[in-house]
Amino acid sequence: MQVIGLLGGTGDLGRGLSVHLVNSYEKVMIGSRSKGKAVSAVQEILADKPDMKDLLSKRLVGVDNSEVASSSDIVVATLPFEATIDTIKQLKESFRGNQLFISAAASLEKKDHEFLSAKGPSVAQEIRALLTDSIEVAAAFQTVPAPLLYKNSSVDADVFVACDKKSTFEACSEVVRSIRNLRPLYVGSLQVASEVEGLTTILLNVAIKNHLRNPAFKIIAEPTAGSPVKS
């Protein structure tokens, strides 16, 4: 079993992912700029989830972000969009290599009571350019609402995955499938990551303009022969 770590894991998405990942990974590290804050986040999660106390006590730990970078087989960046690149630059020397790096950063700008996606290269492409080639990079989880993850034992939604290699998609799919009912869907190379990072704006605008809580995507389609997608 592998070790998975969440950069900026003290936030809503990190907490939401962590309570599922403990089912499949022997160690789940909640990372923070402050180890004390990460340890407190773990205590809060334990208090919120008494039914999972044994598993969480055994597998969930609070660490600083540099330990996530150096000790994880799989790193998931659950950092604000605008802080992700600076954080990776600061941690660059800590990554041990031969890792899977999943960026969940969603590009968001609020203007005149609406959400818009930021223009320019995707965060995932910028991360690809910063990290050594032995680290596989994918964009995923942008459209999975953290509150749904945190409160439910399964989430029936699709996760769009952008990455450059089939092996990266397969590795990322394993992480996605470790959360019950989430379905990974391959959307293309990292060139498509900016489209994926922008999808969160659609969900947030749908939520505020239609009085809906925690919307997510679920693609309706008929499989074709040889479809790689498992529903």
By CB under 6 A, name the binding residues for ligand NAP.
8, 10-14, 32-34, 37, 78-81, 83, 87, 104-106, 108, 141-142, 144-146, 200
Q: How far is the CB of 13 from ligand NAP (least distance, A)?
A: 4
**Nearest residue (CB) to ligand NAP, 166 versus 218:** 218
Q: What DSSP string runs through the chain?
A: --EEEEETTTSHHHHHHHHHHTTT-SEEEEEESSHHHHHHHHHHHHHH-GGGHHHHHHHEEEEEHHHHHHH-SEEEE---HHHHHHHHHHHGGG--SS-EEEE-----EEETTEEEPPPSS-HHHHHHHHS-TTSEEEE--TTS-HHHHHH-S---EEEEEEES-HHHHHHHHHHHHTSTTEEEEEEESGGGHHHHHHHHHHHHHHHHHHT-SS-------PPPTT-----
Closest distance of CB 16 from ligand NAP, Å: 7
Output 4 or 13, the one with its CB closest to ligand NAP. Answer: 13
Q: Which is nearer to ligand NAP, 11 or 188 (CB)?
A: 11
CB of 147 to ligand NAP, least distance (A): 7
CB nearer to ligand NAP: give 113 or 213: 213
- Cα 212 to Cα 103: distance, rounded to the nearest angstrom: 26
Q: Which residue is at the shortest CB distance from ligand NAP?
A: 11
Nearest CB to ligand NAP, comparing residues 95 and 141: 141
- Please report how close the Cβ of residue 170 comes to ligand NAP at its closest, in angstroms: 22
Closest approach of ligand NAP to the CB of residue 108, in Å: 6
